[in-house]
Chains A and B, each alone.
Chain A
Amino acid sequence: MSEQGKKMLELAGIVKSYARGGRPHPVLAGVSLEVGAGEFVTLIGPSGSGKSTLFRLIGGVERPDAGVIRIGGREATGRRGLISYMPQHASLFPWLSVEANISSALSAVGVGKKEAARQAAEWLRRIGLEGAAKEYPHALSGGMQQRVSFLRALLMPRDVMCLDEPFAALDALTRADMQAWLLGMWEAERRSVLLVTHSIEEAITLSDRIYVLSPAPARVLGELTVPFPRPRRADVWKEPEFVGLKERILSLLQKGAAERHAL
């Protein structure tokens, strides 16, 4: 348990603005957060609060105007290739089979070809998708595609997994199903995860800690620790404390919205 205290992802004072119509348009106004080793952390905020920008900065696709990003304890501002990523849309390659989608992504970032193929086949079997391994992605349902997309992120040999609203495009039933599935997968693997979501229930069900973001320009309005023990079941929403947590997050979000209107 010596790893427990180690910070896998650290953002300190991240500032970013875009020029829009010739004027600077601030998106992130000093965001600081951290994800510990084997910790599941969620970012929740209204739409347009710069969460996607934050991910692009963590992924090194863009550089912040100010602030520092550390991944695995090392300075990583503007550096690519340190995280694994699960986007909102499954983003599977339509010309590759399910299995090849996983192994191709792994070899694109340097995993040996044979090893990548072996891992893809083995893990598809482990999650009960071996029957779909040779199918093209369009033959799969939305939920199935997201399972494959998650597996692709999980197998990537990186310190931090970034999940960008992975279930936003799914219907409510599939979504609940996928949350339970993800919870089970994560309990077994205990990777360091940063999840972005709009759904308060999703955040509480899955996370160890939750950061609540304000509307743009975003800053952290509050940080909550989710008290439910691990391993956790997907029906924690039945706990009385669940409602209390939900209310606290809601009031933080409302406070953020009110402050913005006051400006």
Chain B
Amino acid sequence: MTTVEDASALLHEPVKRSILDRPRSTTGPWSWFTTVDHKKIAIMYGTTAMFFFLVGGVEALMIRLQLAQPNGTILSAARYNEFFTMHGTTMVFLMGMPLAAAFGNYFLPLMIGARDVAFPRLNMFGYWVFLFGGIFIYSSFALGGAPDGGWFGYAPLTSTPLSQGFLPGRGADFWAVGLIMLGIGSVATAVNFIVTALNMRAPGMTMMKMPVFVWMMLVVAFLTLFAMPPLTAALIQVFMDRNFHTNFFNAAAGGDPLLYQNLFWIFGHPEVYILILPGMAIVSEILPVFSRKPLFGYSVVVFSGIAIGFLGWGVWAHHMFATGIGPVATSAFSLSTMLIGIPTGVKIFNWLATVWGGSVRLRTPMLFALGFIAQFTIGGLSGVLHSIVPADTQQTDTYFVVAHFHYVLFGGLVFAIFGGIYYWYPKIFGKMLNESLGKLNFWLMVIGFNLTFFPMHFLGMQGEPRRTYTYPSGMGWGTLNLMATIGAFVIALSVLVFLVNVIFTRQRGELAPEDPWDARTLEWLTSSPPPEYNFAEIPIVTSRDEFWHRKYTEDDEGRLVKLPPSPEAEIPARRDPHEPHNIHMPSPSYWPFVLALGLPIMGYGFVFKLWWLLAIGALVTFFGINAWTTEPASEETH
């Protein structure tokens, strides 16, 4: 007769399920390859994306050098086209989206009081696909030409077979296959975020008690989930047209180039919100903390975000106002584009009202958040001008548009990201970034950014088109272009100050206090950096801004009143000597890495039509899938 103890002993018997022993260590350099800890994965996402930010930035500097004066000779036409294509591709797919994934990965579970994301191995898979996808696309520089069809890759320029020579090299193949790969990673991460936010919230945290950050990441995840498939379809068609002589976009054989534009922008416009909503998410957390006030109109901000998420699907053809889709269609998309300005405006006013009447501490994160509001508003307003279709036919594909979306994505998103880094650095690394260097970073970036992109509004209206590697003298564009180039180098200087700040802080930055900003949300209710399991005890949530309400209450006039210290508001010590042993965390795994490794191998097989290489990649992939599916999520360690 078996006893209960026997049964549990049987259960805990380590079972050898695969050819390799399961990795156990959660520390040391090798652990980075096998980790399933959302915080470690977030750090990997963040550092990799920042690396690509620097690469894309260098490409931008080269572009600006080439355009500083008429008839520039720094870059050849071919190199210029590669650089502007890769600058866009990098900043969208290898910087913007992964940085959102970094912040989401780190803080989404912490803010909802969870111990990890819903699918830790899928999470890790997403990162490796991103890294390999990025390396894959960039390897094209050494393997026969980088992508040079624009980040938007319009067919039939990109889809015409290589033999026609419409584009000089194999870049479009690398681009199409690489983006399909990155899309797989993005969808995996999106599914993970959705399930995590919906299913893993701490007890008591209803949907309307979730931090705005979590709400916006949830909207972003849904957008990503539905936006990637049409892009993938378009990319597969491009690749098929180019390599297997299909005719999806070949007008001479009955294909339709406009189909590509529709597919691309059905992805591409939601993509804009996929990029900017994380920025709004970060700013919505920073502003209340540094104003010592709750977010003004929480539910309106949340619903505005959701409204943007829905309306974002109905505006794609505003990228196609010059394509001749007819007055009825352009009018409809003009109106829907105007409409999406309303929830966006509501958010801006609510942020300002949040700061209004607060006790504003102008620390670096707050400066970046305020910079976000001002600059994003300028980008939003020029966007509203685009909705005036006739005006857009003068603005589209000119530097006016370049100015517009850089005000949104640099003045908005990048400023929010830097604000987020300064805000959460003490949480992630346990040290404070230097405040003086931070302010220098901020002001240099404000000056450099506006000097670069403000003149571009004028250049566009004066007739300078985008994506041109040269312009003749006598057009009157030289001065403003030179100004933009100087501005770009001021931005570079500001990024340099940031890097110095990070290095300085790592070397001898001061240790962060437990709650350096007097914060509001649950990620601060644990030590900095948090232990692997995040919370020794899952917090019970009773209100929005749970951590804040454990520290403060309001008097009858609504004024802030500090509560006496209580055990609920106590942050555990940095290294808890009584580390709990009864917390079951998911175990590390090799297989997501292996599975992700199979994809670029298949990718090279496709690009170079090396079918044996494709077969090897497929084998690695299937091996990874098989091993992954047959190993349990967590294994007992003895």
Bound together: no
B residues in contact (CB < 8 Å) with A: none
A residues in contact (CB < 8 Å) with B: none
